[in-house]
Amino acid sequence: MWIFVGIISGLFDALKDMPGKKALKDASPYLFLFAYSAFSLPFLLIAIPWLGIAPVNSTFWWATIAGSLTNVVAMILYAKALQGGELSLTVPLMAFVPVFMLLTSRIMLGESPGFLGVIGIILVVAGAYTLRLNRENGVLGPFKNLARDKSALFMLGVAVIGSINSNWDAIAVRNSSPLTYLIFFQIINLAAIVPLIYFRSRGKFNEVKTRWKLLFLVGLFAAFSLFASMSNLTLTMVPYANALKRTGILFSIIIGFIVFKERKNIQPKLLGAVIMIAGVLFIAATANE
């Protein structure tokens, strides 16, 4: 069950990027951060009559607040990385979140994947990294770029923070419910993002009005992806849930190939897809460990 839920979270994450790519073209990165929270929150609120709001405790609140504050830092770094760096040299670094989680989840949650699980996570990461590579930059291009490009360092920082935040997510969800956590998390995010929009990109805020139909879809798919990924934190170990969500990169490549006719660097993408699928199979094998 948790394998299916993890892959579904990756699928909806990729579907979110399809309207998002068009809606946020030439828009401020801060507007993207606002849209992700603001347009997914209504769909989460709609689910309250069916799923309800779970009781919470002090552990939930400190995990939610800690996760929200570090998430705001990560969002700022992510926006700076998108603004100043070449995507093919920065985005691949995000693939390493599950690897960092092998350490952070052990420290914060006491969760340690078995041998097959570790192999699966490494393969998923290797596949995700390969899928995002640009042939011109080479396999080590993103790492070589760390020494000369602050944007790459910002993205690496986002990956490290992401490996910590996923554990805050798990602590909060396990002390409430996926829906309860996501609603409070997105509200806190918006409280932090709106001032950023006001001071950094208020001149472009009207873009929301002209692109609301596409942003509506971004919010819909983001809500499904978030709910699936948070639900999975109650079903399996956090490193496994996070690694399975990385399959969204694979779905993004498929959507890009079919919908946007993105045929560049298809060979490394196929290789990355095969490696990633092998990783998912290894992770699936842990169900019998």
Q: Is the pLDDT of residue 219 over 80?
A: yes
Q: Is the pLDDT of residue 49 over 90?
A: yes
State pTM to two decimals.
0.85
Tell me, what's the pLDDT at 60?
Answer: 96
Tell me, what's the pLDDT at 284?
Answer: 79
For the chain, give the mean pLDDT: 82
- What Å distances lie between residue 180 and 114, 175, 216, CA to CA? 31, 10, 21
Give the whole-angstrom CA distance, residue 31 versus residue 203. Answer: 11
Mean pLDDT of 252-259: 76
3-state helix, strand, coil in the chain (%, to 5): 80, 0, 20
Tokens of 218: 């971004």
Q: Is the pLDDT of residue 282 over 60?
A: yes
Q: Is the pLDDT of residue 289 over 60?
A: no
Domain positions in the chain: 2-288
Q: Is the pLDDT of residue 202 over 80?
A: no
Question: 86-142: per-residue pLDDT in tens?
Answer: 555 566 677 788 888 989 999 999 998 888 889 998 888 888 777 666 665 566 666
Give the whole-angstrom CA distance, residue 142 versus residue 124. Answer: 18
- What Å distances lie between residue 288 and 186, 243, 269, 282, 284, CA to CA? 36, 18, 30, 11, 8
Tell me, what's the pLDDT at 244?
Answer: 87
